[in-house]
Amino acid sequence: MGKTSRKKYTPEFKAQVAIEALKEQSTLAELAKKYEVSPTMISHWKADLVKNAGAAFGKQGKSEEEVEKKNQELYAKIGKLEVMLDFARRASQKLGIPMPADE
């Protein structure tokens, strides 16, 4: 048997369906049949839209790409600092200088 993957919906699609649900011109069952999505999923999207509606008019947060780039920079810095610390530990050990204990 083949492995089935979950459907992934674009944010635009989710917003469109949630907006239609908010209009209440159709029932959740009708929308679910029309868009081939479960009524529960539509309810979640609708609740998310209502909960995050203020973000549309407020300060824009960082995009996912910006966050990922910043994370990569931080991980690179952590790696560099770990290499430097390892070098310092080895050098102090050879010189007989005690290193402060890790906290």
27-44 pLDDT, tens digit each: 999 999 999 999 999 999
The dihedral over CA atoms of 69, 74, 76, 80, expressed in degrees to the nearest 10, equals 160
Query: Same structural domain for residues 49 and 67?
Result: no
Q: How many domains are there within the chain?
A: 2
Query: Same structural domain for residues 98 and 77?
Result: yes
Query: Same structural domain for residues 37 and 72?
Result: no
Task: List, for residues 64-101, the tens digit of each pLDDT value.
Answer: 888 899 999 999 999 999 999 999 999 998 998 888 77
Judge whether 2 lies within some domain.
no
Contacts of 36 (CB under 8 A, 6+ apart): none
Judge whether 46 lies within some domain.
yes
- For residue 44, give its domain range: 9-53
Among residues 26, 25, 17, 23, the alpha carbon closest in space to that of 44 is found at 17
21 CB neighbour count, 10 Å cutoff: 22
| pTM of the predicted model as reported, rounded to 2 decimal places | 0.52
